[in-house]
């Protein structure tokens, strides 16, 4: 009997796709379409991403037996498809076994499931809390023999943590590491992923293919950007960021083992483009996956609402955005002109709804209750809350989702009005500091991101970018009347929020101690507002909500 020869070429298709959490049949249909595409390209194997059939992250859905059963049925059905002698598949799915509910992958070929592998290292930090819904794999995974090639399949965190999963796979005979991932975007994340992969390649001595999910899921955006690192530590291929695609790669066995010798080499966007496209993708998927036909926002003539309008048109198209200017006696003629110019540049519907009557009506209704008090922030906030009520009325009447427009600087210090300009379903700039909003606005005026549905040219009037920001709730008001200049404020906030720095260290950067104490105090006392805020796209390493979870009731202050 002659020994069956092992292959020297393996064609692996990487399915960088946009699943929807809970849409099991829709995800299965997407997987089938991708496999058919890969078959036409001559693939031997299709690699899908983490928990693809369920959508990632499924969170507490995996606690429902009916959900788990539906996911496993879909996995079985997909496995049967491989009886057609086409490519085999590796696809993520939650599986309930005697050892618990696992974040798993199946390997299917020849019409059946030939192997299951369970995630060993469950992340429990930042945006991840998998330990509350999954059990880790009971054993370290061994390689899977796929058509004569021993493939190691560590799942996402298995290559990020310190458990030595990749080394174990190498020691037990793996020849290639194929890694399904659900790795969300934050600024500089691409560099971090490459470093993690290179470390594992160095420690295991094996080439590594990193397949990453694409798409928005609530606050998280998965940016794709799948890649491979060869055993010599070189970048073998790089897929596009923020774009859904099935890419073919070719792997060849040589004297030194396997190496990827063909694959796409896409350029990764620079910082402003990446942030803008993440916000755009997050907004698009939130609106579309939740079934909203269109959106509405208050267009004030300020920069925050202007960039949100641009993002909405780019994500959804001009016909799906309704912008409403709601002027009061303090609204300047510049703001009226700037808002109209912005709407005209974007091509969206633009309405003007004055709020004099509702605000004056509220004031009149409260006259007796407020007798003997001085006018102040309460009366100013009536304007914002009247605007919020009007936007919610339009939402209720026409089924439009309200896009809320507060930036991270405002959300940090409580300078956004609860039940007013914080009203809304989703906030695409929630995790952008004010100076980042300016930077992205300037970038958008000179670039049209791939996949954008909006126009080219200046879509945010230059006057909006140049003028001093103001809520226009009283005569001649500017934001800097009560806050330090935004470059100073943003640096202090980044120190406090992203880096958890102490007051002494922030002062050592050149900031005034009293100012730092005040900003820290404002940050803490605004926590109750942020708990009631709409979700928004995660852009920084530590966003409000999933990453930063501070108590509302909190008397700690750093008085160092």
**Does 204 show up as a binding residue in the annotation?**
no
- Active-site annotation holds for 50: yes
Tokens found for residue 193:
């992923």
Helix (H) or strand (E) holding 246: strand 245-254
- Active-site annotation holds for 542: no
- Tell me which of 30, 71, 116, 119 is the catalytic residue: 119
**Does 515 show up as a binding residue in the annotation?**
no
The DSSP 8-state label assigned to residue 66 in this structure reads: H
**Does 125 show up as a binding residue in the annotation?**
yes
**Does 99 show up as a binding residue in the annotation?**
no
**Does 116 show up as a binding residue in the annotation?**
no
**Does 159 show up as a binding residue in the annotation?**
no
**Does 481 show up as a binding residue in the annotation?**
no
Torsion angles phi and psi, residue 540, rounded to 5 = -90, 175
* Residue 177: strand, helix, or coil: strand
The DSSP 8-state label assigned to residue 418 in this structure reads: T
C-beta atoms surrounding 291 within 10 Å: 8
Q: Residues 433, 407: contact at Cβ < 8 Å?
A: yes
- Tell me which of 30, 71, 156, 348 is the catalytic residue: 156
In 3D space, the residue among 302, 309, 353, 281 whose CA is nearest the CA of residue 536 turns out to be 281
**Does 542 show up as a binding residue in the annotation?**
no
Measured CA distances, 302 to 260, 342, 376, 425, 461 (Å): 50, 10, 22, 20, 10
What is the Cα–Cα distance from 80 to 74, expressed in whole angstroms? 10
**Does 215 show up as a binding residue in the annotation?**
no
**Does 305 show up as a binding residue in the annotation?**
yes
**Does 18 show up as a binding residue in the annotation?**
no
- Active-site annotation holds for 156: yes
In 3D space, the residue among 486, 490, 472, 504 whose CA is nearest the CA of residue 540 turns out to be 490
- Tell me which of 30, 50, 289, 538 is the catalytic residue: 50
What is the Cα–Cα distance from 494 to 506, expressed in whole angstroms? 10
**Does 410 show up as a binding residue in the annotation?**
yes
Q: Residues 525, 517: contact at Cβ < 8 Å?
A: no
Sheet containing 112-118: order of strands: 112-118, 100-109, 88-97, 45-47, 9-16, 245-254, 257-262
Sheet containing 208-212: order of strands: 144-146, 149-152, 176-181, 208-212, 227-229, 235-238
Residue indicated by tokens 């073998």:
236
**Does 316 show up as a binding residue in the annotation?**
no
Helix (H) or strand (E) holding 236: strand 235-238
C-beta atoms surrounding 148 within 10 Å: 13
How many angstroms separate the first and last alpha carbons of the chain?
A: 79
What is the Cα–Cα distance from 280 to 147, expressed in whole angstroms? 41
Tokens found for residue 540:
């920084």
In 3D space, the residue among 217, 207, 152 whose CA is nearest the CA of residue 183 turns out to be 217
Cα angle value 544/549/551 (rounded, 5°): 120
Give binding residues for L-glutamine as ranges.
125, 183, 189
Residues identified as active-site: 50, 119, 156
Give binding residues for ATP as ranges.
298-305, 405
Give binding residues as ranges.
125, 183, 189, 298-305, 381, 405, 410, 529
Give binding residues for deamido-NAD(+) as ranges.
381, 410, 529
């Amino acid at each position: 009997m002659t020994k069956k020869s092992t292959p020297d070429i393996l064609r692996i298709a990487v399915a960088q796709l946009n699943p929807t959490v809970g849409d099991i049949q829709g995800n299965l249909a997407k997987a089938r379409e991708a496999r058919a595409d890969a078959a036409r390209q001559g693939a031997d194997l299709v690699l899908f991403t983490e928990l693809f059939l369920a959508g990632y992250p499924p969170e507490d859905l995996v606690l429902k037996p009916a959900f788990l059963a539906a996911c496993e049925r879909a996995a079985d059905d997909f496995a049967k498809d491989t009886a057609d002698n086409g490519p085999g598949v590796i696809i993520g799915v939650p599986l309930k076994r005697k050892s618990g509910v696992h974040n798993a992958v199946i390997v299917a070929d020849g019409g059946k499931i030939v192997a299951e592998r369970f995630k060993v290292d469950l992340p429990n930090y930042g945006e991840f809390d998998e330990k509350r819904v999954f059990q880790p794999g009971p054993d370290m995974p061994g390689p899977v023999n796929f058509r004569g090639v021993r493939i190691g399949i560590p799942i996402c965190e298995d290559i990020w943590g310190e458990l030595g999963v990749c080394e174990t796979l190498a020691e037990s005979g793996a020849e290639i590491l194929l890694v399904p991932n659900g790795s969300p975007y934050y600024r500089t994340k691409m560099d971090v992923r490459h470093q993690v992969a290179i470390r594992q390649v160095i420690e295991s001595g094996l080439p590594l293919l990193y397949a990453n999910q694409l798409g928005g899921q609530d606050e998280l955006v998965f940016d794709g950007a799948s890649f491979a690192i060869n055993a010599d530590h070189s970048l073998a291929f790089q897929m596009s960021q923020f774009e859904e695609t099935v890419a073919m790669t070719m792997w060849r066995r040589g004297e030194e083992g396997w190496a990827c010798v063909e694959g796409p080499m896409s350029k990764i966007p620079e910082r402003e483009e990446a942030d803008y496209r993440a916000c755009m993708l997050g907004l698009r998927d939130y609106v579309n996956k939740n079934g909203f036909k269109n959106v509405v926002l208050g267009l004030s003539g300020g920069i925050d609402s202007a960039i949100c309008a641009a993002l909405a048109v780019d994500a959804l198209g001009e016909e799906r955005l309704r912008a409403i200017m709601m002027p009061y006696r303090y609204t300047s003629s510049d703001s009226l002109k700037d808002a109209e110019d912005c709407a005209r540049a974007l091509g969206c519907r633009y309405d003007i709804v004055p709020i004099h009557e509702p605000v004056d009506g509220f004031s009149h209704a409260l006259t007796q209750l407020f007798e003997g008090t001085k006018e102040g922030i309460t009366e100013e906030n009536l304007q914002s809350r009247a605007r919020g009520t009007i936007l919610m009325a339009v939402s209720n009447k026409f089924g439009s989702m309200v896009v809320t427009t507060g930036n991270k600087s405002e959300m940090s210090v409580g300078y956004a009005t609860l039940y007013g300009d914080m009203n809304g379903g989703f906030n695409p700039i929630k995790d952008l500091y004010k100076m980042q909003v300016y930077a992205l606005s300037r970038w958008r005026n000179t670039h049209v991101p791939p996949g954008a549905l909006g126009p080219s040219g200046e879509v945010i009037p230059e006057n909006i970018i140049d003028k001093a920001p103001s809520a226009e709730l009283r005569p001649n008001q500017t934001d800097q009347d009560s806050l330090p200049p935004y470059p100073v404020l943003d640096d202090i906030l980044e120190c406090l929020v992203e880096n958890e720095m102490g007051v002494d260290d922030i002062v050592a950067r050149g900031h005034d101690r009293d100012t730092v104490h005040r900003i820290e105090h404002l940050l803490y006392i605004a926590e109750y507002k942020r708990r009631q805020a709409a979700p928004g796209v995660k852009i920084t390493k530590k966003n409000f909500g999933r990453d930063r979870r501070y108590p509302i009731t909190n008397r700690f202050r750093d008085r160092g």
